[in-house]
Chain A
Amino acid sequence: KAGVTQTPRYLIKTRGQQVTLSCSPISGHRSVSWYQQTPGQGLQFLFEYFSETQRNKGNFPGRFSGRQFSNSRSEMNVSTLELGDSALYLCASSLVGGMEVEAFFGQGTRLTVV
């Protein structure tokens, strides 16, 4: 079974631009979550999508947005990039049901804002 696939793996953008990252979940997983990892803040939850609807949201500004398609694939978008947005962005997918919330992560997209 294929794992979580994130594209692209690396990205360099200029301050003020926008960026779109893509995530394909494990087949059969309907929940997709996004996390940001930085050296200073660690792993922080951005948002979670299930059945094309955002169910949970972290404490990030509105410049960070996402969506999920009917095939469970997800994209996240960051507009008006700032230097501080440089980070590893991780996507995770989960089966949904009960208390178990094991999330399986992709390899991430390393975004550098210059």
Chain B
Amino acid sequence: DQQVKQNSPSLSVQEGRISILNCDYTNSMFDYFLWYKKYPAEGPTFLISISSIKDKNEDGRFTVFLNKSAKHLSLHIVPSQPGDSAVYFCAASFQGAQKLVFGQGTRLTINP
């Protein structure tokens, strides 16, 4: 039972354009969501998070949107840069538990 799903295994975007990565979840108990970026042979790097009491959170080029009714979140990267090429994971948690449930990841490729 996959509670967090990233349905797009890969995404290719031109440099300078917007990258939009999507994530769906099934467990309505989740109340905190995070995005991580991962390069091969390295651990995931925390990017941005959002609490379920908000619908948007911004940090520089990264914005996360949360639609609770649709159980959907998305990560927008504007503008996309070559260094953004990596695998992106969304993750969810509830009640402050240090137990993250991860999606399967989306491989983002930024083309020059």
Contact = CB atoms under 8 A, between A and B. Distances in A.
Given A102-B46, A104-B46, A105-B43, A58 B98 contact: no
Interface in A31-86: 31, 33, 35, 42-45, 48, 50, 55-56, 58
Nearest to A32: B98
A108 B89 contact: no
A73 B2 CA distance: 31
B65 interface: no
Q: Which of A44, A99, A106 has the most CB of B within 10 A?
A: A99
B51 A110 contact: no
Interface string B19-45: 000000000000110101000011111
A101 B96 contact: yes
B99 A33 contact: yes
Given A56-B98, A98-B96, A101-B100, A42 B105 contact: yes
Nearest to A104: B46
A45 B101 contact: yes
B59 to A, nearest CB: 12
- Contact size range, A: 20 to 34
Interface in A1-27: 4, 6
Contacts, number: 74
Determine chain A's interface SS by DSSP, over half rule. Answer: strand
A35 B49 CA distance: 19
Interface residues of B, number: 26
Given A4-B43, A105-B43, A105-B45, A96 B103 contact: no
Given A43-B89, A99-B32, A106 B98 contact: no
Interface of A: 4, 6, 31, 33, 35, 42-45, 48, 50, 55-56, 58, 90, 92, 94, 96, 98-108, 110
Interface of B: 31-32, 34, 36, 41-46, 49, 51, 89, 91, 93, 95-105
8 contacts: A31-B98, A33-B99, A43-B105, A45-B99, A45-B101, A56-B97, A99-B51, A101-B93
Given A33-B98, A104-B46, A108-B43, 18 more contacts: A6-B43, A35-B102, A43-B89, A43-B91, A43-B100, A45-B99, A45-B100, A48-B98, A90-B43, A94-B98, A101-B32, A101-B93, A101-B96, A102-B34, A103-B100, A107-B41, A108-B42, A110-B41
